[in-house]
Amino acid sequence: MTLLKTSLLAVAALAATPVLAKEAPKPAPKPVIERTGAPTGVIASTALVPVGSKILYLSGSTASPIDPAKPEEFGDTATQTKSILTKMKASLEGMGWSMGDIVKMNVFLVGVPENGGKMDAPGMNGVFKTFFGTVEQPNKPTRSTVQVAALGRPTTLVEIEAIAAKAP
């Protein structure tokens, strides 16, 4: 056979070979924020935020007065915690975020006389559990809670700051 005939036969053979369909590459799974912790725990033990996530820092916030006509009355630890978390939720939602996006919180509590000068962690946690780890909002942030000697006003018992993140 001549070189020309051999080449033509090779081209014909290739043309007759069925083309195997290439599978489209599977898209990479969407990055998510990974949280760990005891299922019955109040807070997460860890929160792993993937590279490229948007991070939002929420400055420390204190409660609003229960009655605007009485600007120095903020209520007890539970009442103040509810005020702060409600404001935080509204602020986040106004920006298209949610309480479920919070990955880290720092809570500062002042001791109260009715608790022997110690912080009212149960009062704060009772309200906290209505905002995190619920059926409606199952995400829990990591959190530090510390007792401080005082906050900005004599009747302020709680200040909370937070960091929120959204995976890309």
88-139 pLDDT, tens digit each: 999 999 999 999 999 999 999 999 999 999 999 999 999 999 999 999 999 9
Residue among 43, 102, 42, 112 nearest 74 (CA): 112
Residue 26: is its pLDDT beyond 90? no
Q: Over range 39-53, report the average pLDDT.
A: 96
pLDDT value of position 4: 52
- Does residue 150 carry a pLDDT above 60? yes
- Confidence check: pLDDT of 44 > 60: yes
CA distances (Å), 143 to each of 44, 47, 123, 140, in order? 8, 10, 16, 9
Supply the pLDDT for residue 50: 96
pLDDT level of residue 29 (50, 70, 90 thresholds): confident
Measured CA to CA, the distance from residue 64 to residue 90 in angstroms comes to 13
pLDDT at 12 over 80: no
* CATH fold for the domain made of 56-168: 60s Ribosomal Protein L30; Chain: A; (3.30.1330)
Share of the chain above pLDDT 70, in %: 88
34, containing H or E segment = strand 34-36
Looking at residues 72-98, what average pLDDT do you find? 97
pLDDT at 74: 97
162-to-84, 102, 143 alpha-carbon distances in Å: 11, 7, 9
> In which band, very low, low, confident or very high, does the pLDDT at 24 lie, cut at 50, 70 and 90?
confident
Residue 80 to residue 13: CA distance in whole angstroms: 81
Q: What SS3 state is found at 93?
A: helix
Give the mean pLDDT of the chain. 91
Give this prediction's pTM: 0.83
Amino acid at 122: P
